[in-house]
Amino acid sequence: MTTISQMETLLPQQDTDKQTTDFITHLLIEPNAIEQRLYQLNLAAAALKQSTLVVLPTGLGKTIVAMFVIANRLQAMSGKVIILSPTKPLVEQHASFLKKFMTLPPDEIIVLTGSIPPAKRIALWKDARVVVSTPQVIENDLLSHRIDLSDVIHITFDEAHRSVGNYAYVYIAEKYQSQAKDPLVLGITASPGASSEKIEEVCRNLSTSNVQVRTDDDPDVKPYVHYRDLEWRHISVPVEIKGLKDSMQRVLDNRVEQLAKLDFIDPNRKYLNKRELLDLQSRLQSGLRSGPDQRVFKAISLVAEILKVSHAIEITETQGPEALAKYFERLEHEAGSKSGSKASRRLVEDVHMRQAMYALKELDVTHPKLEIVKDIVSGQLRNNPDSRVIIFTNYRDMSELVTKNLEGVDNVRPVRFVGQASKYKDTGLTQKQQVEILDKFRSGEYNALVATSVAEEGLDIPATDLVLFYEPVPSEIRSIQRKGRTGRSHAGKVVVLVAKGTKDEAYYWSSRRKEKTMNSKIRQLGDTRNAQSLGETPGIPGTGMPGAPGTLGTLGTVLPGTSEQSGITGLPGTPEKPENPGIPGIPEQSGMTGIPEQSEMLGVPGTPEEPAEKAGQKQLLDYSGEKLQIYVDRREIRSGVARALESAGNDVILTTLEVGDYIVSDRVAIERKTDMDFLDSIIDKDRNIFGQLSDLARTYDRPVLIIEGDNLYTARQIHPNAIRGVLASIATGFGIPIISTRDAEDTAALIQVIAKREQVDEKRTPSLHGRKTAMTLSEQQEYIISSISNIGPVAARKLLQHFGSVESVMRAGPDELMEVESIGPKTAQRIREVVGSVYKG
């Protein structure tokens, strides 16, 4: 293994008589470009000695630390390095930074995204020295055996707190340790989490044996910390808005009373918080496993109604009438749909809920937060026209309302910035659109970014002087990330709006408490992990900066004149328990590695911005015989099953399967459904599980259905006999055996056993054959339109809905095409080019 002292002989040195220099000097870093900061040099030095998790406040140069490590590894060793970041905008940001400040030829620093064809990605990978990518692309290419990590000499995991559960970071880190000759990992984050267990899980999953921590108060950091003024502005809720709550409160009290009459809660209880409701919901669902019980079914439905009404009340008080109107619209839509829950239908039919809906239509008042946002933002931009402002909202509805409220205000040029997922009457942004919006925000074409959680992590817009929270967030990670969008290159301000006497106040106290707890845990972890191993931190080769002669203080901070400590090896602890999924239609979740602070409550309309990943220990498959070949449908890659199969040594071939999800021989094809998927396919005619299984049985002699999960009879309010009826039809009508598994790892183990039986015992080989049943007319029409380059199935449906027929789409001119949502000039021109160009075959 190449050591730091060895690398010093390979890199140019500055005059060691100088104790400080103004800029970093390194062969691979542009001269006179990067200011020399002692804490960054010492962090990089520690990270070059061993795989390290670096915890550094926002705006203090985590990417610079990563660049120091990358430059030294590339200078000292042959091979390539990877820097991974969770989103395409962050990937583009890192790539731009490295191309600007490193002396490598630009074509040696590449960006890999899913939009690049696989063959081109392989070619780019082959010649690259620095690869900047989202983890999903690298995971996909590893599973598809397009690349391996044997010649990768370093990986930086940006926003490393995501490295838990089934997130792609975990798989990549595992493969890196097994494939690389000399692996070195750097994890960087500003907010690792409030619990020691969470931090230790991150370290364990990334195989980092050292934790380096800096805080704003450390002596070597403090000179570079820009003042960030924090204002908590408490706002009174108008009596008219509070009046909307009264009718809904009657509904809430009635449902709680009914729960008490069923003996599921103490009759003296008048209120249950979200955690209590979720715990009760879980216990009720578990109770159904022993058999149907009408009391339990009734109680589950009551809990769902309580959750919905509680959420409506919270929206009323903290967001305002406009947001409540959108929520009621979704509730009525759900109630009217065939797949809607009974709880939704009962609520919209309840006389008191109807009263609230009617009163809302007559209400002529807005939440004062909207006007306050307008005043704060317009004042900031009036006084400082070159400034940038970011307004964070937990809800997509509010991001739309705030943006519209700011339009037309002098000096304010607002733009909405949300995630990719499309929801009921709400189309998300593509990654390309996100990048374009951020570029225009940086350039000043827009100066007010109204964003959900998608903008919380990592975005570096130095001109951002003001960050405004429309409401507090209870998550310490999300709160720190939001605040970190300002005060990066100069002083900044953060304003948090808190509606008095509402959930805002609870989130206000929760966030403050959790931030203090996290800082305390980080310090404790730094004390524990760094106090066990002594040794002097060397300087960064080629920087002209010798190691500080003292010690690496209690938090790994190198302080001149003190003795030095370094990190330790070994990480005790257990993974954090999975949290409840988030409440649909309420705050958008931050993408924080699937650790949402807001719990999803079953039956509430809408979905979180970012779905949560489940935390859990990896179960290793123990089969070690002949290598098995398993074809896996590409759409299964997110399940974790393909990852587990590949990690066990199987030859996993990702492809697009017409029939089935896993093919293990010429006669055995496997369809996998989670318990939720299976239940949804029963009540949603568009899912058509019988059509899928009919194709499976028609095409393969030995079809198998795997239902994964333990909540088949409890996850939905469907009578167990109805579920049993469907299972009986599948088993007897189609002759398909049904096997139940616990989770993705259990499913992978079962598939592996079936594959071994077929390929080893029966000497059969996998064979792909069969196609789906012929498409319907509408499917064929969608297929024709979506076959045009850059037109996906969603855009194809929108075009057909707008024009009515394939012929009308083909006849439409560019201007007519651009009237359709999501069809821009380039796409319209491409359609016209394909339709109108002369064939030259």
Most confident segment among 617-631, 742-756, 766-780? 742-756
Q: For residues 675 and 714, what is the distance between their CA atoms, to the nearest angstrom?
A: 9
HEC sequence for 650-673 = CEEEEECCCCCCEECCCCEEEEEE
What pLDDT, on the 0 to 100 scale, is given for residue 588? 38
* In the chain, % of residues over pLDDT 90: 31
Q: Is the pLDDT reported for residue 249 higher than 80?
A: yes
Give residues with Cβ within 8 angstroms of 810, minimum separation 6: 835
What pLDDT, on the 0 to 100 scale, is given for residue 463? 65
Strands 130-133 and 80-84: parallel
Q: Is the pLDDT reported for residue 555 higher than 50?
A: no
Query: Model confidence over 321-370: pLDDT tens digits?
Result: 988 998 998 888 888 877 677 888 889 888 999 988 998 888 888 899 99
What pLDDT, on the 0 to 100 scale, is given for residue 28? 95
| Per-position DSSP letters for 438-469, written without gaps between them | HHHHHHTS--EEEE-GGGSSS---TTEEEEEE
Q: For residues 493 and 321, what is the distance between their CA atoms, to the nearest angstrom?
A: 28
What pLDDT, on the 0 to 100 scale, is given for residue 553? 30
Q: For residues 704 and 709, what is the distance between their CA atoms, to the nearest angstrom?
A: 16
| Per-position DSSP letters for 178-239, written without gaps between them | HH-SS--EEEEES---SSHHHHHHHHHHHT--EEEE--TTSTTTGGGPPPEEEEEEEEPPPH
Q: Is the pLDDT reported for residue 458 higher than 70?
A: no
Mean pLDDT of 46-74: 92
> Comparing 254 with 548, which gets the higher pLDDT?
254
Residue 547's pLDDT band (boundaries 50, 70, 90)? very low
If we measure between CA atoms, which residue out of 99, 86, 114, 87 comes closest to residue 28? 99
Lowest mean pLDDT among 102-106, 215-219, 661-665: 215-219
pTM: 0.67
Mean pLDDT of 219-223: 84
| Per-position DSSP letters for 766-832, written without gaps between them | ------PPPPPHHHHHHHHHHTSTT--HHHHHHHHHHHSSHHHHHH--HHHHTTSTT--HHHHHHHH
Tell me what the pLDDT averaged over the chain comes to.
79
Q: For residues 296 and 375, what is the distance between their CA atoms, to the nearest angstrom?
A: 51
Give residues with Cβ within 8 angstroms of 836, minimum separation 6: none
If we measure between CA atoms, which residue out of 579, 591, 590 comes closest to residue 195? 579
Query: Model confidence over 604-626: pLDDT tens digits?
Result: 333 334 333 333 334 445 554 66
Q: For residues 611 and 593, what is the distance between their CA atoms, to the nearest angstrom?
A: 9
If we measure between CA atoms, which residue out of 173, 140, 112 comes closest to residue 642? 140
Its sign, for the CA torsion 390, 392, 398, 399, is positive
Q: For residues 652 and 639, what is the distance between their CA atoms, to the nearest angstrom?
A: 14
Q: Which residue has the tokens 């949804």?
A: 680
Burial class (CB in 10 A: 0-12, 13-18, 19+), 351: exposed
Q: How far is CA 425 from CA 324, 657, 713, in A?
A: 15, 31, 32
Q: For residues 841 and 833, what is the distance between their CA atoms, to the nearest angstrom?
A: 15
* In the chain, % of residues over pLDDT 70: 80
What pLDDT, on the 0 to 100 scale, is given for residue 434? 84
Q: Are 465 and 226 in contact (CB under 8 A)?
A: no
In Å, the largest CA–CA distance within the chain is 85
Lowest mean pLDDT among 200-204, 446-450, 682-686, 740-744: 682-686
What pLDDT, on the 0 to 100 scale, is given for residue 700? 92
Q: Which residue has the tokens 């499913």?
A: 747
